[in-house]
Each structure stands twice: as C-alpha cells, then as structure tokens.
Amino acid sequence: MRVELTVNGDPVSAEIEPQELLLDFLRGRLRLTGVKQSCEVGVCGACTALVDGQPVSSCLYLVHEASGREVLTIEGFVNESEFSEFEEAFTRHAALQCGFCTPGMVLTLKALRDSGAGRDVDLREELDGNLCRCTGYRAILAAARAVVGSEPAERER
C-alpha cells in the first residue's frame, strides 16, 4: 500500500507493508535514528515521535496510521527555534547522561508545552511513559519544569 505523509516538514511518499511500524520506517528507511529502539512493547518511550503534535510510541504505531499526517522527530525539532530552550534547560540542569531517553523526553515535553499545560501539571505523571535508566529523574523534572513552566508537584517539594 502507498502512504503519503509529512516527516519533519518534508513530504514523504512510500510503498509500505500494511503492518510496517513507524519505528522501522523512521529509523530504517529515513535514517532518523534519534527515534530510539528499545523495549519495542510501548513501555519505555525511547521511540517517541509526534504525530500531528501528539506523542506516540512508534514501536506500536503503524505507518499507515500516519498517512496524511505530520510526523515530527527530534531531527526535525532541533531545527525549530524553541528547541534552544529545551537544550538550555537540559544542559543547565544536567538532565541527561547517556542521552538515550532524551529525544523521547524532549518530544513528550514539547507536546505538553504546546497543549498549554498549566502550572499545576504533574510532570511525574506526564513523563511516566518515558523511562530513564541513568539520571534518577530529579534533574529531568527540573529541566521539564523550566520548559513547561510548571510548579513542582506537592510530593516533589
């Protein structure tokens, strides 16, 4: 079957298998390796991409579901002016070590920020689909608060 979609602002047209996963399409065909391959069962969030602005686990999402939609990966987001705020916040708070989880974290936070999430949003809940094996989360939450503009939840104070 043929799909037409937009990936990082560029039109993409391709012949695909009906069961082809967005993860394989982005990494294998388009070489967008900022989309990380890890658990492959929708648990870790490393494979997060945005489809029409919503975070999806690309390891569970079929390419044809993205037909006619706009897909954003970290490779596209780095070219947007607001990316520098995320870069600055993650650097200032030392919110990454190996960096494997970072693209997914950043895209999830971008979607949250774009949604107009209020000051009282619970970032631990919002990020519970993005796992990090290195940092212990405290630094990531600090960076997340900086970019989303939220207050620490009661249990973080």
Which stretches of the chain bind ligand FES, using CB under 6 A?
37-40, 42-47, 57, 59, 96-101, 132-135
Instruction: State which residue, 45 or 76, has the beta carbon closest to ligand FES.
Output: 45
Least distance from ligand FES to the Cβ atom of residue 119, Å = 26
Least distance from ligand FES to the Cβ atom of residue 149, Å = 22
Instruction: State which residue, 75 or 151, has the beta carbon closest to ligand FES.
Output: 75
Q: Which two tokens stand for residue 44?
A: 């870790």
Least distance from ligand FES to the Cβ atom of residue 44, Å = 3
CB 90 within 8 A of CB 26: no
Distance, CA of 37 to CA of 58 (rounded, Å): 9
Distance, CA of 48 to CA of 82 (rounded, Å): 19
3-state secondary structure at position 143: helix
Tokens 């047209």, residue? 13
Q: Which two tokens stand for residue 99?
A: 């960096």
Least distance from ligand FES to the Cβ atom of residue 51, Å = 14
Instruction: State which residue, 106 or 121, has the beta carbon closest to ligand FES.
Output: 106
Would you give the end-to-end CA distance of the chain in angstroms? 52
Instruction: State which residue, 44 or 66, has the beta carbon closest to ligand FES.
Output: 44
Least distance from ligand FES to the Cβ atom of residue 152, Å = 20
Instruction: State which residue, 65 or 151, has the beta carbon closest to ligand FES.
Output: 65
E-strand ranges in 8-122 read 10-15, 48-51, 54-57, 70-72
